[in-house]
């Protein structure tokens, strides 16, 4: 083990940002990275990911970036070839979530040292998956 209590860190991250989950998905619908801050069964996770793919991907660029779905809503932004999709509680302010997503992308960009939002390229996330995962866990604690 690495000495970290990952469950406690995820719990603090969820409390800090208020998200239920965050998913990075390519334009083709492939999940590149996902982190669930609340507890879900595997079947619930698969249903959520299927809902994201069917609801977010076919939307036009000029359509609203918020989709209410049951007890949470999908708030998303597309950067280059990746969608950053957050599952937020219905009562949470969508504009704050959009700002948090942008802050998260800027943090990833800073860690990847590109200066041009290269972190939104699938290859950057794919080849630096460990760093991207650490950002998923630790960045919400600083938001």
Q: Are 22 and 12 in contact (CB under 8 A)?
A: no
pLDDT at position 129: 58
pTM for this entry: 0.75
CA diameter of the chain: 46
d(CA 4, CA 135) in angstroms, rounded, equals 15
Q: Per-residue pLDDT for the chain (143 aa), expressed as one digit of tens each?
A: 455 555 565 555 555 567 888 888 888 888 888 888 788 899 999 999 999 999 999 999 889 999 998 888 999 999 878 899 999 988 889 998 898 888 877 777 776 665 554 545 555 555 565 666 566 555 554 44
pLDDT at position 141: 44
What is the β-pairing status of strands 66-69 and 72-79?
antiparallel
pLDDT at position 73: 92
pLDDT at position 26: 87
pLDDT at position 109: 73
């Amino acid at each position: 083990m690495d000495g970290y209590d990952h469950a406690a860190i995820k719990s603090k991250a969820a409390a800090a940002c208020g998200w239920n989950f965050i998913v990075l998905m390519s334009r083709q619908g492939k999940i590149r990275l996902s982190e669930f801050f609340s507890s879900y069964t595997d079947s619930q996770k698969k249903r959520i990911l299927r809902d994201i793919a069917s609801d977010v991907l076919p939307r036009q660029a000029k359509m609203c970036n918020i989709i209410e779905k049951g007890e949470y809503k999908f708030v998303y932004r597309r950067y280059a070839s990746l969608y950053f999709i957050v599952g937020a509680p219905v009562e949470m302010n969508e504009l704050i979530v959009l700002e948090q997503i942008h802050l998260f992308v800027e943090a990833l960009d800073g860690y990847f040292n590109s200066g041009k939002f290269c972190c939104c390229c699938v290859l950057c996330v794919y080849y630096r998956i460990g760093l991207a995962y650490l950002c998923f866990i630790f960045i919400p604690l600083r938001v």
